[in-house]
Amino acid sequence: MAMILPIKVCIRDRLRRLAVIVQENSTTLVRDVISAASAKFKIDGKSLVLEEDGVDLDNDLLVIEWKNKLFMVLQENENWSPINNPPTESNSSFQENKSLNVETDCSKKKCTTSDGKTSESDTSDAPEQKRSKMSQTTD
What single-letter amino acid sits at 136? Q
- The structural architecture, per CATH, of the domain 4-75 is Roll (3.10)
pLDDT digits (tens, 9 = 90+) for 13-28: 999 999 999 999 999 9
**Total Cβ atoms within 10 A of residue 12:** 22
| HSE-CB for 31 with a 13 A CA cutoff | 4
What is the CA angle 49-52-54, rounded to 5? 35
User: pTM for the full model?
Assistant: 0.60
- Ordered by start, the domain boundaries in the chain are 4-75
pLDDT tens, residue by residue, 30-52: 999 999 999 999 999 999 999 99
**Under a CB-based contact definition with an 8 Å cutoff, are residues 9 and 19 in contact?**
yes
Is the separation of the CB atoms in 4 and 22 below 8 Å?
yes
Percent of the chain with pLDDT over 70: 60
If you ran DSSP here, which 8-state letter would residue 19 be given? Answer: E
